[in-house]
Structure 1
Amino acid sequence: MRETTIAILGAGAWGIALADLASANGHKVRVWSRRGSANLEAVLQDAQIILSAISMKGVSDVVSKVKSIPLSPKTIFVTATKGLDPQTTCTPSQIWQTAFRDYPVVVLSGPNLSKEIQQSLPAATVVASHDTAAAELVQLVFSSPRFRVYTNPDPLGVELGGTLKNIMAIAAGVCDGLHLGTNAKAALVTRGLTEMVRIGKSWGAKTETFYGLSGLGDLLATCNSPLSRNYQVGYQMALGQTLPDILDNLPGTAEGVNTCQVLVQRARHHNIAIPITEQVYRLLQGEVSTRQALSELMLRDTKPEYN
């Protein structure tokens, strides 16, 4: 395809990995960071794609900055952030779409550990949008022999899959840190997926999306890799370290910590059963130990599997 001008907002590991993928395909890429010296208006000038890979806490502020800058009416927004807004419980794409109602917004999410992608190891991801043409253009921009990109018409489901699995990754880290074994880990991940589907359905996402790359795929990758920051939070807490100490020494943001708090608020308001998330929340709040959280999950009332 012909050269596309892409503005990447966020110079963390994920933003740089995506910039490298697009550059390798021959596209013109500019990167902007909130802590860098690059001028945002200059970075956005003539950009056909604006891709946000900033942490959740910075999304609203950056959206406001971008909104003050004149853009081409054909610009496509892509969000690769995984999280929920603490004030509104909105997803990143919902924040972007609210601010830019007349522009297509595409969600990019999948089992994509940035360190592996930077090592040119093979991976796959999903780009989802209500605008099929926009999703297909983004698909072409990032597709390569080492990075396979699929399209999906359910942006909310794709986004929630990538967001909710971070909570399950914290639980998976605890499981491994306590050396609970393969049986326990398999049960946790399977029931975690059930919980993700339950939340997604209540939100309006499609069930089948959670069984794809952005749901089950991302869940498996994040729950089984020490490269995952969320996994590291749970693993190190199981070893007795405190949450503040872990976060202070973590390279980058563990979005699952914030997501867990926001999700518990929303689930309680809508009366959604989220037993794993509830125990992760209590653990992060210091209300229970890792062992107590495990005991409470194992001693819940018996029930049919699919209720």
Structure 2
Amino acid sequence: MTTSAPIAVLGPGSLGALLARLVAQGGQPVAWWGGENAPLVERRARRRGERDAGTTLPPEVRRCAAPEETLDAARLVFLAVPAGALLDLARRLGERLSPDRLVVHAAKGLEGPSGRRPTEILAAEVPARRLGALGGPYLVAEVLAGYATTLVVGSRFDEVHQAVHDALATERIRIERTHDVVGVELAGAAVVALGAAAGLCSGLRLGSGARAVLLARAQQEAMRLGVASGATAETFGGPAGLADLLVVTADPEGLGYRFGRRVGAGEPVGSVREDAESRTEALRALEGLRAIARRTAVPAPTIEALRSILVDGAPPATTLDALLRSGS
């Protein structure tokens, strides 16, 4: 379905560029803002093997120098920024994200110690109320190469589901719809956190059995946190949860995975965090999940242990050994 109303995509790097490309390939007008440091982000994406999604965008994509320029008459707005950058962008756009717009974020993560989900941030900062969350198992390089995948859009509004489907669905990209926004967001945050956990296991040279147990326990804890927060358990076992987890924890080039691997290999957390290339949403996600665990009074010992290692710098080997021996 083609519409004359333009679609706005705001987000640096490969994900924002990918969404803009998909919209353009579907024949819809699209404006893309690639961030303040778009060339640098694109070079990093190339080093991660994601191909040059930004500089090879089709000519139908209108590049914008500022996020405000993308909006114009756009009814559907994609915010493809990390969870840690969403608050600043929302405050910058403010009233421009008006009630007549459909706003969908692709921020897999949480705000941090507050535990706020992306749609909670948006609801507090902008007038738009028809919000959605985009999740699911995808690697940018694979989508660009034509591999099939499923994206999940979580929203309370069916018109958001339909707009995202019309904008992104192709023969190779299926759009799954759900009203479980909380589940899509918390499942995505857990996946981001567990990407770093998988890297940690790699750095420690844990066996595949111990790695599987650790990830399974953490995923179960995240599901219980989600249910206590109003999500449905099924979301965590579907494309937005388990399927995405299998993809992210098998990707050694992911930022979270690389962060965890370096910590597991013995580098101090502080020195890894000082490396700009290794800043990761996984740490914010772990902080947020712990905040939700405390707020809901749901035990989450695996998530607590991972946070103590990757955020506080607790000794990885002894901390995980005690956790796995405890049977928690």
Q: Normalising to structure 2: TM-score of the pair?
A: 0.84
The equivalent residue for 2:181 is 155
User: Structure 2 counterpart of 1:214, which letter?
Assistant: A
1:63 is aligned to 2:64: no
TM-superposed deviation, 1:159: 1.0
**Are residues 122 and 251 of structure 1, via their aligned partners in 2, closer, same or farther at CA, if it must alter by over 3 Å?**
farther
Structure 2 unaligned spans of 5+: 38-63
More displaced stretch, 277-286 vs 31-40: 31-40
- Measured on the aligned residues, the alpha-carbon RMSD in Å equals 2.2
What residue is the counterpart of 2:54 in the other structure? none
State whether structure 2 residue 238 is matched by structure 1 residue 212.
yes
| Displacement of 1:227 | 2.8
Query: In structure 1, what is the equivalent of residue 124 of structure 2?
Result: 98
Which aligned pairs between 1:80-119 and structure 2 lie closer than 5 A?
A: 80-86=106-112, 88-100=114-126, 103-119=129-145
Residue aligning to 2:48:
none
Quickly say closer, same or farther: Cα 1:76–1:269, change in 2 above 3 A: closer
Describe the superposition over 1:42-82 as per-residue Cα deviations: whole angstroms up to 9, x where unpaired: 211011211101122221221122223375x5321011011
In the other structure, the counterpart of 1:222 is 248
One-letter identity of the residue aligned with 2:94: K
User: How far did residue 178 of structure 1 move?
Assistant: 2.3
1:105 and 1:42 map into 2 onto residues whose CA distance is 21
Q: For 1:253 and 1:5, locate their aligned partners in 2 and report how far apart those are by CA, in whole Å.
A: 33
Once residues 5 and 78 of structure 1 are traced to their aligned partners in structure 2, the CA distance between those partners, rounded to angstroms, is 15
The one-letter amino acid paired with 1:19 is A
Instruction: Please report how far the alpha carbon of residue 235 of structure 1 lies from its aligned counterpart in structure 2 after TM superposition.
Output: 1.4
Q: Distance in 1 between matches of 2:114 and 2:212?
A: 33
Q: How far did 1:249 drift? A: 4.7
Q: Which whole-Å CA distance do the structure 2 matches of 1:134 and 1:66 have between them?
A: 20
Contact 2:269 2:313 in 1 (8 A): no
Alignment partner, residue 24 of structure 1: 25
Residue of structure 2 equivalent to 1:172: 198
The residue number in structure 1 matching 2:73 is 46
Letter matched to residue 27 of structure 2: G
Could you report, residue by residue, the CA deviation over 1:214-273 in whole angstroms, capped at 9, with x for unpaired residues?
A: 011111111111132211111121122233444455647521111212322332343221
Q: Which runs of 5+ in 1 are unaligned?
A: none
CA distance in 1 between partners of 2:292 and 2:95 (Å): 31
Q: Do the aligned partners of 1:11 and 1:33 also contact (CA within 8 Å) in 2?
A: yes
C-alpha change, 1:182 and 1:39, in structure 2 (3 Å) is: closer
Contact 1:174 1:236 in 2 (8 A): yes
Equivalent residues of 1:12, 1:252 under 8 A apart: no
Give the deviation of 1:287 after TM superposition: 4.1
> In structure 1, how many angstroms separate the alpha carbons of the residues matched to 2:6 and 2:81?
19
Cα pair 2:95 2:127 within 8 Å, conserved: no
Equivalent residues, number: 301
Tell me, in whole angstroms, the C-alpha distance in 1 between the residues paired with 2:221 and 2:2.
Answer: 42
Regions of 4+ moved over 6 Å: none
